[in-house]
Chains A and B, each alone.
Chain A
Amino acid sequence: MHDIVREAANFINLDAMNIAYLFIVGFVGGLVSGFIGSGGAFVLTPAMMSLGVPGLVAVASNMCHKFPKALVGALKRAKYGQVDVKLGIVLGISAEAGVLYGAHVQESIKKAFGDAGSNLYVSVAFVIILAVVGGFVLRDAWKTYRSGNMHEEEKVTKLAHWVQSINIPGTMVYFKSLNARISVLFTIPLGFATGMLAATIAVGGFIGVPSMIYVLGAPSLMASATELVIAFVMGLGGSFKYAMHGLVDIRLAMIILAGSLFGIQLGAIGTTYVKPFIIKVVMGLIMVIVLFSRGLMVPVYLSQLGLIQTLGDPTVKILKNTSFAIMAFALILGASIVLSAMWKGRRAEREAAQEVLEHGKI
């Protein structure tokens, strides 16, 4: 505990450049989170660490910016009728348990295998989960695009139909996003996995959103909006836990929040202009690109653990920098798709309004 407090006391000095950097990273992260419900946070922890912020303080400060951001995003998207508060809270509670268990697993791995072991675990989790889920989401989006049914209603999967057909007395709850009653027992493992992923790679939504879509049968727009409620519940509990240890650097958290609240509002507005499958495109693309970013780091940690031949310092530096650059690229690409989809949507709306005006004149 004394070590933790000593580390916490080691808060960095902030100059104008650092503030501008955190603001911009916060904005881009917020934009993506507002659109797909999460996904902006994973680049913030390494971004803070690149400024010299200790790892735990970076994780804690990231968490403390995430819950107010998610709150603002959820309120904004609730105005568009996209949020299922009940589902968000139910999933959020089991996600909180997942966060605690995930953090415990992390600590155990760190104790047994040190920092390199812990980093290897995180990177392998990134690669496996993002490959499976990201690949699936992207394939689904591609199939929708190829079929030309982009405007049609999203189909509920067979698995979701099955989940919705199971009746377990005493556990059935109606969720408006599903327009069906399902057993809350199905939500527990999904929320738990979301929380565990959040504690491991900082983005629980990469499991939360696809599971709401494919396992429970929620539409993409509602799933991504409801994820913000889960992120709020998880972030609030997590922030309190870290703050109890004095690990939150509130200056960092609030500066990132300054940028991310501009971003999250814009991302939320963006969802009203796009076809639902675009949410899957952005999410799937980010997941698949980030998986390569983390995959590059696997040899570094394997070498640190002595499981493969030791890598030279220049090689490690190149791999680390390339990994960070790929991660930043994933986020920027996601943000660009959101902005361009929004731009096209607004232009189409203006043209339609103009047409109505001209016809009116005639």
Chain B
Amino acid sequence: MARSNGRSTKKKPIGKMVVMGVVSLALYVLLLSEQGVINDYFSRGGLVAFLPIAVAFIFSIVHGSFTSNFWTVLGIEAARRKKEVR
């Protein structure tokens, strides 16, 4: 039965969500299992400052992509009617 609801027929990014979810989980496991070494390095300050910044960027890309796909897979997406912002 064909459904007229465009969103329902759109393919959900389950594969992408799973891949990014696994990578994100692996990053968190690594962060918490190696927290002693990581804390030791990151608390040194100075030029090492780029490390926490780089880590934050990596987590934001991977986990951000996972969370975005997560809500899409659950069917929670932006309103279809384009909002006029002015």
Q: Are A253 and B67 within 8 A (Cβ)?
A: no
Whether B38 lies near A221 (C-beta < 8 A) is no
Chain A residues with CB under 8 A of B28: 254-255, 258
- In angstroms, Cα B44 to Cα A321, docked, is 35
Known contacts A14-B32, A261-B67, A269-B77; A253/B56 CB under 8 A: yes
Q: Please, which residue of chain B has its CB at the minimum distance from the CB of A261?
A: B67
Q: Decide: A250 near B55, CB < 8 A? Known: A8-B43, A221-B83, A266-B71.
A: yes
CA gap between A249 and B51 in the complex, in Å: 12
A65 touches B (CB below 8 Å): yes
Complex contact A353–B67 (CB within 8 A): no
A246 to B59 CA separation, bound complex (whole angstroms)? 19
A249-B39 in contact given A69-B60, A221-B83, A345-B79 (Cβ < 8 Å): yes
Query: A12 CB to closest chain B CB, in angstroms?
Result: 10
C-alpha gap A302/B77 in the complex (Å) = 49
Q: Which residue of A lies closest to B84 (CB)?
A: A153
Shortest Cβ gap from A215 to chain B (Å): 17
B67 CB contacts on chain A under 8 angstroms: 72, 261-262, 265
A104 within 8 A of B: no
Give chain A's interface residue range (CB within 8 Å of chain B).
35 or more
- CB-defined contacts of A76 to chain B, threshold 8 Å: 68
The verdict on A81 contacting B52 (CB below 8 Å), with A245-B45, A265-B71 known, is no
Least CB separation from A360: chain B residue = B4
- Report chain A residues within 8 Å CB of B53: 64, 236, 239-240, 243
User: In the complex, A349 Cα to B64 Cα: how many Å?
Assistant: 26
The answer to whether B85 and A272 touch across the interface, beta carbons within 8 angstroms, is: no
Q: Residue A257 at the B interface, CB < 8 A?
A: yes
Q: How distant is the Cα of A153 from the Cα of B14 in the complex, in angstroms? A: 38
- CB contact between B59 and one of A154, A254, A262, A346 (< 8 Å): that residue: A254
Interface residues of B in 30-86 (CB under 8 A from A): 31-32, 35, 38-39, 42-46, 48-53, 55-57, 59-60, 63-64, 67-68, 70-71, 76-86
Which residues of chain A in 94-138 are interfacial with respect to chain B, using CB atoms and an 8 Å cutoff?
A: none
What is the minimal beta-carbon distance from B57 to any residue of chain A, in angstroms? Answer: 6
Chain B residues near A272: list those with CB within 8 A.
78-79, 83
Contact flags (1/0) for A326-362 with B, using CB distance below 8 Å?
0000000000000000000110010001001100100
CB distance from B2 to the nearest CB of A (A): 11
In this complex, what residue of B is CB-closest to A1?
B45
A251 lies within 8 A of B31 (CB): yes
Known A-B contacts A8-B43, A67-B56; the reply to A257 vs B86 at CB < 8 A is no
Asked if A80 CB lies within 8 Å of chain B CBs, one says: yes
Contacting A258 at CB < 8 Å: which of B43, B63, B79? Answer: B63
Q: Which of A254, A265, A271 contacts B31 (CB 8 A)?
A: A254
- A79: B residues at CB distance < 8 A: 78
Bound form: Cα–Cα A358–B10 in Å? 21
A248 within 8 A of partner (CB): yes
Task: Return chain B residues, CB-CB under 8 Å to A315.
Answer: none
Known A14-B35, A80-B78; judge A353-B5 contact (CB<8 A). Answer: yes
Interface residues of B (CB under 8 A from A): 4-5, 28, 31-32, 35, 38-39, 42-46, 48-53, 55-57, 59-60, 63-64, 67-68, 70-71, 76-86
- Please name 10 pairs of A and B residues whose Cβ atoms are closer than 8 Å in the assembled complex, sorted by A: A11-B43, A154-B86, A221-B83, A240-B49, A243-B50, A246-B45, A251-B32, A254-B55, A257-B56, A360-B4
